[in-house]
Amino acid sequence: MKNAEAETLLACHCAGLPGTEDPRITKAVRLAEKDPALQQRLARQRAFDHRNLAAVEQLVLPQAFLARLDAGQPESARPLSGKAALTQPVLLACGIAALTLLGWGGLTLWNRAHSFPGKDSMVRMVEVNDEMTGMEMEPKKDPSGALNDWFFDKYGFEDYFLPAGFENYQTIGARLFKQDGEPVAQVAVEENNMIFFSFKAEDFGVALPNDEWHIFTDAQWVAAVQQHDEECFMVCFRGSRGDMEALLKGKAGKL
């Protein structure tokens, strides 16, 4: 601490008033006690304050005033206005709690509105894409609508289903894998690096109104699921909800 700073902080020192000191002021006082110039200044200030404090202590609170306070009425009935009311600690705490509850409630409602039975299994299906190297699939260059027989011949899988509008995409690979012991047909499509999934709805607890799209996002993926009778179809790619809505326009199914 320099002398100039100590001199400034020294003015905040008032001997005889316990509990009024700050560590920086105490340090300034210690420094002043060792410095000849500041030592003199400190002594004069202490003498000056000592005399004035003695005079201040002579100022006595009139007893009649205490009685007046005792009989007084707080202005609590008067409502606080505008900013003053908003900055009350109790109101601030209530406001934050209300906002948190509203946020949580809103999130819960949003999740409920965008959830459906079996969604967790669908999310896990989408996450399978991230674990794949590309080697798992058998190269297959055909229109997507032409794989029915291939899935049946190769795997005995009878539930390959595509909604109208998805039959003519050029595929680059396909396979059948099992999730939770249940078969899922997976097809990779050239356009937009899309992945199609087809499976039996009841195998994964999916229960959706017929021919209605349900869109959800998971990390960088967006997926849309549609059930038709016992079969389910899901398409996913890396993109946004808006990209998916644009894709589904003109395809069979209610958005």
Partner 1 sequence: MAPGDFRLRGLDLPFSTEDLTRLFRFALLLTGDEGVAQQVLYDACAECAARLGGYRNEQSRMACILGTLRQKAKAAVPSAPAEGRGIARAIAVLPEEERAAMAGLYTGLLPARELAEALKISLEDLGRTLKSARERLSRDGLELGEATLEPAL
Name the residue nearer to partner 1 (CB basis): 49 or 142.
Answer: 49
**1 lies in the site for partner 1, by CB under 8 A:** no
The pairing of beta strand 231-238 with beta strand 221-228: antiparallel
Is residue 76 part of the contact set for partner 1 (CB under 8 A)? yes
Report the residue from 36, 74, 156, 181 that binds partner 1 according to the rule CB under 8 A: 74
Say if residues 223 and 215 touch (Cβ distance below 8 Å).
Answer: yes
- Which residues, including other chains, have CB under 8 Å from residue 123's CB and lie 6 or more apart? 216, 218
Q: Which residues of 34-45 are buried (b: 16+ CB within 10 A; e: fewer)?
A: eeeebeebbeeb
- Residue 56 or residue 135: which is nearer to partner 1 going by CB? 56
Smallest gap from residue 28 Cβ to partner 1 (A) = 9
Encoded tokens for 70: 């005792």
* Residues between 13 and 32 with contacts to partner 1, criterion CB under 8 A: 13-14, 17-22, 24-25
Among 1, 33, 37, 52, binds partner 1 (CB under 8 A): 52
Which range, of 39-47, 95-103, 124-132, 199-207, touches partner 1 by CB under 8 A? 39-47
81 binds partner 1 (CB under 8 A): no
Smallest gap from residue 31 Cβ to partner 1 (A)? 14
Q: Which pairing describes strands 214-218 and 221-228: parallel, antiparallel, or unpaired?
A: antiparallel
- What's the one-letter identity of residue 165? G
DSSP characters over 23-67:
HHHHHHHHHHHHSHHHHHHHHHHHHHHHHHHHHHTT----HHHHH
Measured from the CB atom, the residue of 18 and 181 that comes closer to partner 1 is 18
- Residue closer to partner 1 by CB (options 62, 181) is 62
Give the distance from CA 163 to its chain's centroid: 35
Q: Which residues sit at the interface with partner 1, rule CB under 8 A?
A: 5, 7-14, 17-22, 24-25, 41, 44-45, 47-49, 51-56, 58-62, 65-66, 68-77, 80, 88-90
